[in-house]
Structure 1
């Protein structure tokens, strides 16, 4: 098996081979590090790397498997950890010059669980500054690029995680999603991304109490996403928002024959790129071939949805950055500074109005999901924006029509608003520019297994990604 084949091996397969002693964690780590060193300058997926320590930990994992000792469910896997969460004693920058010298004093709950399960944090993955954009570049780390076409972004804010997976430099990776930050990059890089329902996975304060905010996995396969999600999920003593009892997702599911899918191409108001439309329709044909019923529906949502969602982000997320303007404005990126200034203008009445919009939205979707098993729609309305796109200054058009440059080109924010609904993003194809496109599978509130049932069935029947050199990015 060539080194690239090792680098793109599913995490679940790697664990199986570790246990069978037909593959060593050391072999896998060596291959992944070599791959990272070969492609980092092209893709720029990583910020900090911990390769020497990772090799030491891989040797310890190898010894555990060799001796038949008890191993964690992630034992020996190289896992990209988003440079936003914390690992005690290690640097975390949040993509910002302001934090370039910060060393974490504690380990974030999701990372604590990953490390306890034997996962190896060989590298930290790039983010836009403070994770406040749908693309990934910063003054501190430069531009992160899409491995499928480096002129374009891998998405954001978990763009480094997605770029790493697509370029074969992590087995699985972590992300966080406050407006689509797991799903946007998963779609743009041809990956599986899961936004769990609010409270399913723990997070650091204060954003653990922000119901738009979710931590979750990015992966190259559905099984790998399940593997990491089952480690990340469950109640946490330091996070009052986390749900009891822990939900453990099954790894096998019944067929979807006879099940019902509600479908919307535009959620009522998005302008959707023609390549995205074509690939979405092709994906729906895969579901039909599996015996599912697909019906187009009208949700009755309007541009008010996007406006309200952005008003909410301004009030909490933007306002949380506003305190940096007086002392750190010059160090901030243009887009983070613009977002912070928007937060300064937000009013409590604006925030309260967004809650009414969420109720209005669910008054449409809730009853619909009593008649249908899931809702499917595109993930990104445009495959991706340019790698160096700046939402604070650049204009954006889809099909020749102007759209909001911040979040008007992605269709993810409505499901942060409806945060108790699980959402699984799956690849739907590639656009003419080579950039992948994706679909969102939206489930009933807290019905996580439903979206994975559909995702698993779709993955088994759809064209395969990453299996061979011919189906991987050419780097």
Structure 2
């Protein structure tokens, strides 16, 4: 079983095609693994095993030549973030306020998975309303990092990333409005893709928020490409989704001769030594592969990032959450109440237009800094992990480093401000506490292929696969 649960999706599909493995056999291994580890990890909100086994048997028949040809994700088990609606099933976003809510239709990413033959066998945890970089709620309890249960797998797609790390899913859906795909990828040693705005269709009304987008989590770059190619493309429910549909290449030339800008602090982020060490090791590995790496600085500050995001979230995301919560604040988590208070004060810090002025300046500064380079490389988070179960309201400390808020410990939000840039988050090593760390590969606007070319190169020269000697000790 141990080898099956950590198969990559591309490996599994190849074995299915050769009839060396059955989709039913693979799913049964994941179900057995779930029974072993879920009591500790707590990544799943709902198990859909009975329906999934039926779908796996149908997929097996396709590979045996009985019926239509196999589709791109035929027979691959996929864990879906609970906020990605499935018609007829709960849609609570982890909030007691939404208890009993049932989705009327599938989210676009769910339709894409099912149409491609993917099997949604479980749904995954998030923080309430997906508003935090950790994953725990009054509704679902605490989700733990499989690498070290004293730490969170991140958020808001923490359950999805934890399932991949624990070996209970091969692919998982994610979303990203401030780092919700990339932070969990870094904390769990997985791969997360924040597609450029509009590349993957979303659900209204937040599909109109140019900070956010739905995306992918996987354990390898090839799996991320496979999954992204299924999700990419326009959908009439999301007018921002881009035409024409593109297909990411599955094969890439070696990265030798490419130029990469290394920026360790993105201005004034307080990066822990073990994170910096791993980031520089990733840059050195690319340099040894023939990539030209040059270190640069950016004039950004956490204060101005905080001002821009405060005004943005106050006007859009915070307003939406407040609309749902109404006068039922007694039912929400403490961190949700704190978020609503923070968002409500956004107008005191400036107008939405003031935020746009900061955002456009940061976008120009990034474009100018990246001129002459193919991509930028930087840490995903300033620390290897956040403590599990902590609401992180106000100032907190991690290994002697003090942070005013958890967004000061993560380094993802600048690229939600620069959300036309594709970002591939890949592992960079392990922190001193044993929890994985990660780097972001940031491309020029809508230049998706470049981040995957560099991600493939980095995976080749610094392999991070969940091999038998490199897995959580669950």
After TM superposition, the score normalised by the length of structure 1 is 0.97
Does 2:472 correspond to 1:462?
no
Q: What is aligned with 1:261? A: 260
Separation of aligned partners in 1, 2:237 and 2:464: 40
Separation of aligned partners in 1, 2:11 and 2:139: 36
Separation of aligned partners in 2, 1:276 and 1:310: 27
Q: What is aligned with 2:123? A: 124
Does 2:76 correspond to 1:65?
no
Q: What is aligned with 1:422? A: 422
- The CA deviation at 1:318 is 1.3
Separation of aligned partners in 2, 1:75 and 1:92: 26
Q: What is aligned with 1:134? A: 133
Equivalences for residues 320-469 of structure 1 within 5 A: 320-347=320-347, 349-392=350-393, 395-397=395-397, 400-468=400-468
Whether the aligned pair in 2 keeps the contact of 1:155 and 1:184 (CA below 8 Å) is yes
1:203 partner SS: coil
Of 235-244 and 174-183, deviating more is: 235-244
- The CA deviation at 1:367 is 2.4
Q: What is aligned with 1:48? A: 46
Whether the aligned pair in 1 keeps the contact of 2:266 and 2:297 (CA below 8 Å) is yes
Equivalences for residues 161-180 of structure 1 within 5 A: 161-180=160-179
Equivalences for residues 1-80 of structure 1 within 5 A: 3-67=1-65, 69-80=68-79
Separation of aligned partners in 2, 1:347 and 1:187: 33
Aligned alpha-carbon RMSD (Å): 1.3
| Post-superposition CA distance 1:206-254 (Å, at most 9, x none) | 0110000110100000000011100111111121101111111001101
Q: What is aligned with 1:225? A: 224
Of 63-72 and 366-375, deviating more is: 63-72
Separation of aligned partners in 2, 1:164 and 1:293: 36
2:316 partner SS: helix
Equivalences for residues 151-162 of structure 1 within 5 A: 151-162=150-161
Separation of aligned partners in 2, 1:457 and 1:291: 10
Whether the aligned pair in 2 keeps the contact of 1:54 and 1:121 (CA below 8 Å) is yes
Gaps of 5+ in 1: none
Separation of aligned partners in 1, 2:81 and 2:404: 26
2:406 partner SS: coil
Equivalences for residues 169-208 of structure 1 within 5 A: 169-208=168-207
1:455 partner SS: helix
After TM superposition, the score normalised by the length of structure 2 is 0.97
| Post-superposition CA distance 1:398-430 (Å, at most 9, x none) | 563422323111000000000000000010000
Whether the aligned pair in 2 keeps the contact of 1:421 and 1:442 (CA below 8 Å) is yes
- The CA deviation at 1:325 is 4.3
Q: What is aligned with 2:291? A: 292
Separation of aligned partners in 2, 1:151 and 1:77: 31
- The CA deviation at 1:299 is 1.4
Separation of aligned partners in 2, 1:100 and 1:363: 44
Of 351-360 and 261-270, deviating more is: 351-360
Of 185-194 and 61-70, deviating more is: 61-70
Sort the Cα spacing of 1:65 and 1:363 in 2 relative to 1 into closer, same or farther, 3 A.
same
Q: What is aligned with 2:243? A: 244
Separation of aligned partners in 2, 1:294 and 1:389: 38
Task: Report the number of matched residues.
Answer: 471
Q: What is aligned with 2:92? A: 93
Q: What is aligned with 1:81? A: 80
- The CA deviation at 1:15 is 0.7
2:353 partner SS: helix
Whether the aligned pair in 1 keeps the contact of 2:427 and 2:464 (CA below 8 Å) is no
| Post-superposition CA distance 1:362-407 (Å, at most 9, x none) | 22211232310100000011111111121225x3235634223231
1:371 partner SS: coil
Separation of aligned partners in 2, 1:192 and 1:326: 37
Gaps of 5+ in 2: none
